Amino acid sequence: MSRRDDSDEAYVVGLCSQVLGEAALPQHKFDWLLGDPGDGGRRAKLPVDAYWPGHRLVVEYRELQHDRPTPHFDKPEKMTISGVHRGVQRALYDARRDAEIPAHGLRLVVIRPADLDGNNSGRLRRNQEADLTVLRKLLARKSDEDRVTDAFRVWLLAHAWTPVPPTDRWTDIEAVRGSERLVGEAKGRTIEQGTDTDIGYGQLLRRMTRAEPSIRYALIVPSSSVKAAERVPVHVRELLRIDVYEVTDDNQVRRHSA
């Protein structure tokens, strides 16, 4: 086992994966997240601590050296390619992550030792029960629609679909699998189940700008809205190539084929 595998960062990422129900991509690099130019002008990709594609979520675990001077880590006597010592460069790169990750449509959650059960030196006691309680709150989405959308993205990845940037920026989800394309609208729990599902159907109708039979459409709803979604007759949904997908309270996905 490497030192990184046994680090507090790896421990936190593992718990996050447990909460999210999806394996993380640790030390993931994006083409658009770059460091400062080095020799020859080359800019290396900056890693993030962990990325969950199905949730479009990045987690950064920032230990004490990210927030206060730490000579052991900062090495103030040694300059980096940025022309500053490592502590200053770390702050610059953290700020770059904070700006670029949300700008590219991903959610960023920053976790610090003080958020969890740690000692005064910032080392975690690894109290899993207490830490999981905190992480569930930190990772929770702001709306049930976000939960439904995240669960469906995880399902897509498990079924060999690749989420892609939507053709229409108002579309919630778009994905491809070989020659197939799926365009989806997601709805969360609501007291207006019938109205919201009718709106979802209307939104899908506006996305039907191409006639290719390889394109199917998905109305993605929580279990509480399935009955309302299925008020549209099966033969109409089949004609329009719309399938209803149910996301259960425990984030399982079930397809109600037309």
Which DSSP helix (H) or strand (E) runs through 227? helix 226-229
Which architecture, in CATH terms, is 144-256? 3-Layer(aba) Sandwich (3.40)
- CA-CA distance, 138 to 151, in Å (whole number)? 17
List the domain boundaries for the chain. 8-139, 144-256
Residue with tokens 């980096």: 80
Candidate CATH numbers 3.10.450, 3.50.50, 3.40.960, 1.20.120; the one for domain 8-139? 3.40.960
Token digits for 18?
A: 């447990």
As a whole number, the mean pLDDT across the chain is 88
**For residue 168, is pLDDT > 90?**
no
Q: If pLDDT is split at 50, 70 and 90, which confidence band does 73 have?
A: low
Q: What are 200-212's pLDDT values in tens digits?
A: 999 999 999 988 9
Q: What are 213-236's pLDDT values in tens digits?
A: 999 999 999 999 999 999 999 999
User: Any bridge partners for residue 108, and if so which?
Assistant: 58
In 21-63, alpha helices (H)? none
pLDDT at 69: 60
pLDDT at 143: 87
Which DSSP helix (H) or strand (E) runs through 200? helix 193-207
- CA-CA distance, 62 to 17, in Å (whole number)? 17
Q: Could you tell me what percent of the chain has a pLDDT over 90?
A: 60
**For residue 74, is pLDDT > 50?**
no
Q: What are 109-138's pLDDT values in tens digits?
A: 999 999 999 888 889 999 999 999 999 999
**pTM of the entire predicted model:** 0.66
pLDDT at 68: 61
- CA-CA distance, 65 to 43, in Å (whole number)? 24
- CA-CA distance, 73 to 52, in Å (whole number)? 28
Phi, psi dihedrals of residue 12, rounded to the nearest 5°: -65, -45
Write the DSSP assignment of 55-67 as a string of letters: GTEEEEE--GGGT
Buried b (16+ CB within 10 A) or exposed e, 123-150: ebeeeeeebeeebeeebeeeebbbbbbb
Q: What are 20-62's pLDDT values in tens digits?
A: 999 999 999 999 999 888 777 788 899 999 999 999 999 999 9
